[in-house]
Amino acid sequence: MSPLRIATRKSPLALWQAEYVAKRLQAAGVDSVLVPLVSGGDVDMRPIDGTRQVGLFTKRIQQALLENEADIAVHSLKDLPTEQNPRLLLAAVPERETVLDSLVSKACLRLDQLPSNARIGTGSQRRAAQLRNHRPDLQVMPIRGNVQTRLGKLDEGEFDAILLAEAGILRLEMHELPRTQFSIEEMLPAPGQGALGIEVRSDDQACDTVSVLDHIPARAAVTAERKLLALLHGGCLAPIAAYAQVHGQTMKLTATVLSQDGSQKLEEKHELPTTAESMLATAHQLAQLAATALLERGAADLINAAR
């Protein structure tokens, strides 16, 4: 059997993720080889906004699958559009890393310690809106580039602090990076944050091969989050945050929709009983409950205003 070809972006974090999957496959007795590619989001450094297409970081990687340049693709799941290409299949979601966001600054400041008018860099509408909700006095400014590029801009003094996903910091082993973690209450994560998605062609036997890496509680949690996003028609650019967890026989989902300026915030919390066999069905039910409640409270207006 030929080694599985793993399509991945060339950024250090994306390569780490692909190598992690390769090691997991190797442990299961499956050889693989990386196929590094450059996505549109890696070369286009304009701020991401509603005028830009979805799948900015994933389209080229998916194209490699569709054109048989690769057998599997590894994505940061939060970057993967919720609208599924019928020729592709999300075959596995491995165990999830932390979903927390971190505030990175030279002085290792907490959010409440930042001086008024401090310049904070983030490329995420979700993070920006939640920052403005807590601290409307801050200058929240767009920033692009991989982790190393963003840290370089912080070092050069373009920003007083930047926001990064803690999962990426840990995966890149930047343990000494001066930072403070936001609590879930301060900064609810993006749908799928901290999770990897392994995608295959829907008619390919590679699905059976990589399914050994699937972690059902992680898949159920991100299914609830991504289904919510799809039901809200939010795409990956709207100020929508969601976090689902499985605790024993209970599954919980917290979801938030904000206005861009952070002045309006809608939040819903729902939980349902579940079992190992019904976890994915429970995820869909929770997403429907939360989405219906948010839409009844006017979430669509906030989402449309952010486009």
Whole-angstrom distance, CA of residue 297 vs CA of residue 172? 40
Q: CB-based contacts of 178: which residues, under 8 Å, 6+ apart? A: 104, 105, 106, 107, 108
Extended beta strands in the chain, E state: 4-9, 32-37, 72-76, 88-92, 101-104, 119-121, 139-141, 161-165, 179-181, 196-201, 240-247, 250-258, 265-273
8 A C-beta contact, residue 259 and residue 305: yes
Q: Report which secondary-structure segment, H or E, holds 294.
A: helix 279-296
* Phi/psi at 29 (5° precision): 85, 20
8 A C-beta contact, residue 110 and residue 102: no
Please indicate whether residue 214 is annotated as part of the active site: no
Catalytic residue among 42, 71, 79, 160: 79
> Which active-site residues does the annotation give?
79
